[in-house]
Amino acid sequence: MPNILLTNHYEGLPLEILMHQIPSGYQLEVLEQATQECLLQKAGNADYFLVSGRLKITNEVLSKAKKLKMIQRTGVGTDVFDMKALKSKNIPLYVNQGVNAQSVAEHTILLILACLKRLTVINNNVKNGIWQKQEQGLSTFELHGKTVGLIGLGNIGKRVAEFLNAFGANVLYYDIFCTDTAGSISVQSVALEELFSRCDIISLHCPLTVQTKGIINKSSIEKMKDGVIIVNTARGALINTSDLLEGIKSKKVAFAGLDVYEEEPVNNAELFMQKNIITTPHIGGVSYDSFHAMMHRAVENIVLFESGKFDEIERYKYAY
């Protein structure tokens, strides 16, 4: 019986949803705790890794997994993998390309609008008895007519661009890999320096690589407009947190919307103290709908692989 190891700890509704996707003839094993130690203990029994993206899949983990046939990512990020070790051991890796793009794109728009409308600040004011209609209203802005810069124009970036078009925003993007923007979206490709200088809002949708780590830093923030809004629903390490905090305090950055952080779970008291930073706990891609789809497609891939139906696997196989 093939053993599928979830490299995380699920309980309650998440585990229930996943369990409903496991067909008869397969065994699902879940970590008692989401720690590297537990992963190392369980790795040896696994025929398949179902990787949720929290724990690192290191060379040490892979060396323990003597039976491992294939790794299936529930999402798309590959920054948790030792890619050199995967390649040397010739272990195929599949990612769930585009599976949660709609959810992340919607969450991005939520954060952009919440920043423009000062939602959290005004919500707290009203609950504390501050009813200042004109004064508070005049501190908010419309998305229509704003220039929004997208760093990355993959599946998620393109959907964000579609939403922004509907709001009447002007969309610029920087993506060294994107060459095809055909379709209904209206976007303009620009150099990164131009994107920094022209945009009212900057939203991150690129993978975390050596080149993109810390792409939002003190130097790049200095090139931005005064009062810029920065939103990150991609990877936390794309932003240097201390430099962002400095930008918020100096009011160079008017507002920031963050769903991802350099370290997770985030425990940064100074960041939480800032009224002009809206935070959510890395849930952009985890709506009820997208979680169902992620678990279904991921398990379906494993079953197809086990059956030798490699040509029928629709999700993306990562090329090292």
Of all residues in the chain, what percent are helix, strand and coil, respectively (each to 5)? 40, 15, 45
Averaged pLDDT for residues 252-257:
98
**CATH code of the domain made up of 101-279:** 3.40.50.720
Catalytic (active site) residue 235 = yes
Choosing from 73, 118, 159, 235, the catalytic residue is 235
Residues 6+ apart with CB under 8 A from 287: 100, 103, 106
| Phi, psi dihedral angles at 148 (to 5 degrees) | -115, 130
pLDDT of residue 230 exceeding 90: yes
- Over the stretch 39-77, which tens digit does the pLDDT of each residue have? 999 999 999 999 997 899 999 999 999 999 999 999 988
**Domain 3-99+287-317, CATH among 3.40.50.720, 1.20.1600.10, 2.60.40.1180, 3.90.1150.10:** 3.40.50.720
Query: One of 73, 282, 297, 315 is an active-site residue; which one?
Result: 282
Is pLDDT at 84 greater than 60 in this prediction?
yes
User: With 70 as the cut, is the pLDDT of residue 242 above it?
Assistant: yes
User: Known catalytic residue: 144?
Assistant: no
Q: Where are the domains of the chain?
A: 3-99+287-317, 101-279
20 an active-site residue? no
- The model carries a pTM of 0.90
Quick: pLDDT tens for 17-28.
999 999 999 999
**Parallel/antiparallel/unpaired status of strands 70-73 and 93-95:** parallel
Burial class for 205, CB neighbours closer than 10 Å (0-12, 13-18, 19+):
buried
- Which pLDDT score is estimated for 11? 96
Q: What is the CA radius of gyration of the chain?
A: 21
Q: What is the mean pLDDT of residues 285-289?
A: 96
> How far, CA to CA in Å, does 7 sit from each of 2, 97, 150, 160, 254?
16, 19, 32, 30, 38
- Catalytic entry in 222, 264, 312, 314: 264
Closest of 149, 141, 193 to residue 172, by C-alpha: 149
- Intrachain domains 3-99+287-317 and 101-279 with the same fold: yes
Determine contact, residues 296/315, Cβ cutoff 8 Å.
no
